[in-house]
Amino acid sequence: MEEQCPDHPGHFLRRCAHGSREPGLAAENREAGPIFEPGSRPGKQSFLRIGAETQMTIYLIRHGKTEANERRLYCGSTDLPLSEGGRAELMGIHYDIQNVRFLTSGMKRTDETIRILFGDVPYETDLRFREVDFGIFEMQSYHAIKDTPEFQTWVTGDNEANVPPQGESGLQMKQRVMEAFLEIKEDTVIVCHGGVIAAIMEHLFPEENKTRYDWQPKNGCGYMIKDHCYNSIP
């Protein structure tokens, strides 16, 4: 059984087999709550690319706000720029990160974000770090589509595996994201998306027992991962 999350319209609290309540995924639509206070957390020991042997550091940073974030719309594959408010917010965020590789998902909102936060640094793009594709629900509000048969089918049952019409599932997104992530072999800043960051963190730190919904950072914020531990940033 599902019910709408009272704090985050457009998200669902789903009763799982083990009795917990798990929010459904609406990545770009979420107004993120507080992320963790700075402090190391243990990570997944089987994560091969990050550990004591390599001393590699990965920074995951969510792009600034867009019109879709402000209007609480489903937005994944739609290539929106930052909003005026989103640009202004990023101007107040400071990162002191140097001598690293820079990556974005290649979408306007991530490319604008990296320029505002890091200036004229050279960066690469990897399309596999793009947000989940919400298909026919792109740029729609929860209230506009909640009663449609297509939406009800999408959110019924396993809404990580369910594929929205003309879109992709959360599991399909996670597969392409982790494929790209595990290829990284040097200190890297990845400016990408809330759902993408949450999928990575959920995979690396399963002992935290947090859902992707819980892992999503605020716009312009994210995580630093090193030596099987993470800190929230900035």
**pTM reported for the whole predicted model:** 0.79
Give one word for 135, left, alpha or beta, with left for phi > 0 and alpha for psi -120 to 50.
left
What are the counts of helices (DSSP H) followed by strands (DSSP E) for the chain? Answer: 8, 9
Q: How far apart are CA 47 and CA 70, in angstroms?
A: 35
At 199, give phi and psi (nearest 5°).
Answer: -65, -40
**What are 40-99's pLDDT values in tens digits?**
344 433 343 344 345 799 999 999 999 999 999 999 999 999 999 999 999 999 999 999
Domains annotated for the chain, with CATH where assigned, are 28-139+167-233 (3.40.50.1240)
For residue 14, name the pLDDT band (cuts at 50, 70, 90).
very low
Q: How far apart are CA 51 and CA 185, in angstroms?
A: 11
Residue that wins the pLDDT comparison between 52 and 203 = 203
Token duo for residue 61: 């940073």
β-bridge partners, 94: none
Q: Which residues contact 40 (CB under 8 A, 6 or more apart)?
A: 229, 230, 231
Amino acid at 232: S
130 contacts 107 by C-beta, under 8 angstroms: yes
Amino acid at 189: V
